[in-house]
Amino acid sequence: MASGFFALLDDVATLMDDVAAMSKVAAKKTAGILGDDLAVNAEKSSGFVSSRELPVLWAITKGSFLNKVIILPVAFLLSAFLPIAVTVILILGGLYLAYEGAEKIYKFIVPHSHDKVTVKPGNLSEEEILSMEKEKIKSAVVTDFILSIEIVIIALGTVAQETIWIQIMVTTIIAIIATVGVYGIVALIIRMDEFGAKLIAFNDRDDSFSDTVGRILVNALPYVIKSLSVIGTIALILVSGGIFVHNIHFLHDFIPNLPMILQEFVVGLIIGFIMLAIVKGVNYIWNRTKSRS
């Protein structure tokens, strides 16, 4: 009886070791998408009145948790009964990520004729501000849903050869980290300027250490968000390239002399711009057809 109990404990310990090891691997695989998720949500959660930033972020976080609750069971069912679908979804998601990365690069290189119109909250009524908040929350949750699918599928693909229990535990851990970790960091980022302002107002001196640190934090926020956007774009290309290289056999040795990370970047970049050309071509044909009808 005692030996059976200790054998059970040993099995549980082994399972936990496997889960921990596979979780580390899955975390590395999903790091690129998490970087983009962080950049996107930091941008979408900023720009509100200071008192509304955290409530808006909390609403997006709840939406993100709901996304995971919907996605996880579907992913586990596919893995158990139709595993080929996981690979297909992974590659389709890779096409989307490659396209998104290429589109960001294209928008940066090619100037756009239209400029964004900035609406000042002071010019809006309370009802209009709340409506604007709801739209941004909805947009952020939809974006999170797409990225969450990729995070879950990539994590699940990492442990596809393991038992269903390891798949469930590892993928659930990554999903929780993706939500708590990303939105926790976003909360720190969007409040960085607020904390800096408090440091500046900490005393009446203009040349104090707290003033210097406060000004650095306030001035750094736009650059932090921009740098996250750049890092996220590079990460999108790398993650998508990694999906293609590791799941499509003939691409594995596409450029054999390059290090794997550069090979993944080149493959992701090429496929991304092919997808961008296809999307723009379809949009052009569609618009021409509509204008003639």
More confident residue, 157 or 237: 237
Rounded to whole angstroms, the Cα distance separating 86 from 243 reads 12
Domain membership of residue 1 (yes or no) is no
pLDDT of residue 10: 46
Domain membership of residue 115 (yes or no) is yes
pLDDT exceeds cutoff 80 at 59: yes
Domain membership of residue 6 (yes or no) is no
State how many domains the chain has.
1
pLDDT of residue 157: 75
Cβ neighbours around 268 below 10 Å, total:
27
Cβ neighbours around 32 below 10 Å, total:
27
For residues 96-109, average pLDDT: 87
Sign of CA dihedral 170, 171, 174, 180: negative
pLDDT of residue 281: 93
- pTM (2 decimals)? 0.69
Q: How confident is the model at residue 15 (pLDDT cuts 50, 70, 90)?
A: very low
pLDDT exceeds cutoff 80 at 41: no
Residues 6 or more apart whose CB falls under 8 angstroms from that of 165 comprise 15
pLDDT of residue 6: 38
Domain membership of residue 48 (yes or no) is yes
Q: Which domain holds residue 161?
A: 17-292
Q: Tens digits of per-residue pLDDT, 71-89?
A: 999 888 887 888 788 788 8
Domain membership of residue 77 (yes or no) is yes
Residues 6 or more apart whose CB falls under 8 angstroms from that of 156 comprise 75, 76, 79, 86, 167, 171
Secondary structure, 3-state, 195-230: HHHHHHCCCCCCCCHHHHHHHHHHHHHHHHHHHHHH
> Largest Cα–Cα distance of the chain, in whole Å?
82
pLDDT of residue 30: 64
For residues 7-34, average pLDDT: 57
Residue with structure tokens 């790398």?
A: 238
Q: Tens digits of per-residue pLDDT, 134-175?
A: 887 887 787 788 778 878 887 887 777 777 787 888 888 888
Domain membership of residue 5 (yes or no) is no
For residues 279-288, average pLDDT: 90
Domain membership of residue 221 (yes or no) is yes
Residue with structure tokens 């693909």?
A: 157
More confident residue, 66 or 189: 66
pLDDT of residue 8: 42
Sign of CA dihedral 68, 74, 77, 81: negative
Domain membership of residue 10 (yes or no) is no
More confident residue, 17 or 220: 220
Looking at the chain, the whole-number percentage of residues with pLDDT higher than 90 is: 7
Q: What average pLDDT does the chain have? A: 76
Q: Which of 29-43, 64-78, 150-164, 232-246 has the lowest mean pLDDT?
A: 29-43
Pair 202, 226: CB distance under 8 Å: no
Measured in degrees and rounded to the nearest 5, phi and psi for residue 120 equal: -85, 130
DSSP secondary structure letters along the chain: -HHHHHHHHHHHHHHHHHHHHHHHHHHHHHHHHHHHHHHHHHHHT-SS-HHHHHHHHHHHHHHHHHHHHHHHHHHHHHHHH-HHHHHHHHHHHHHHHHHHHHHHHHHHHS--S--PPPPPGGGS-HHHHHHHHHHHHHHHHHHHHHHHHHHHHHHHHHTTTS-HHHHHHHHHHHHHHHHHHHHHHHHHHHTHHHHHHHHHTTSS-SSSHHHHHHHHHHHHHHHHHHHHHHHHHHHHHHHHHHHHHHHSHHHHTSSTTS-HHHHHHHHHHHHHHHHHHHHHHHHHHHHHHHHH-
Q: How confident is the model at residue 276 (pLDDT cuts 50, 70, 90)?
A: very high
